[in-house]
Structure 1
């Protein structure tokens, strides 16, 4: 799995109660993606919207905690969504 998507999977663990989140995690586990671009291409509109809603907060939290690698990796996924 792409290193960036590992950070995404970790961030999604905070939202496991959501059925949309479960679908996204399922997609991460079903296939081996070589990049975040490849992953984003298979998402449906609900999944994209879900990530658009949570990633800004997750990125901000990572930077607030001075985890710049994680923040940058999550930002890479976010940039592919928009």
Structure 2
């Protein structure tokens, strides 16, 4: 799994496993993606919406905690969504 997607999977584990969150997490667990772009291309509209809602907060939290690597990695996924 792409290093960046590992950070995304970790971030998702902090959320209530709604059906959308669960589907995204399962894709990360079962899929073999070369890059975050490959992963994003497999997402459905509601999954993209979910990630668009949570990633800004996750990125902000990472930077607030001075975890710049995590913040930058999550930002890479976020950039692929938009």
The alignment's TM-score, normalised by the length of structure 1, stands at: 0.97
- Which stretches in structure 1 are left out of the alignment for 5+ residues? none
Number of residue pairs aligned between Structure 1 and Structure 2:
82
The alignment's TM-score, normalised by the length of structure 2, stands at: 0.97
Aligned-pair RMSD on alpha carbons? 0.7
**Corresponding residue for 1:52?**
52
- Which stretches in structure 2 are left out of the alignment for 5+ residues? none
**Corresponding residue for 2:66?**
66
**Corresponding residue for 1:6?**
6
Kindly state the Cα deviation for residue 66 of structure 1 after the two structures are TM-superposed. 0.1
Kindly state the Cα deviation for residue 6 of structure 1 after the two structures are TM-superposed. 0.2
Residues of 1 paired with 2:73 and 2:49: CA distance? 19
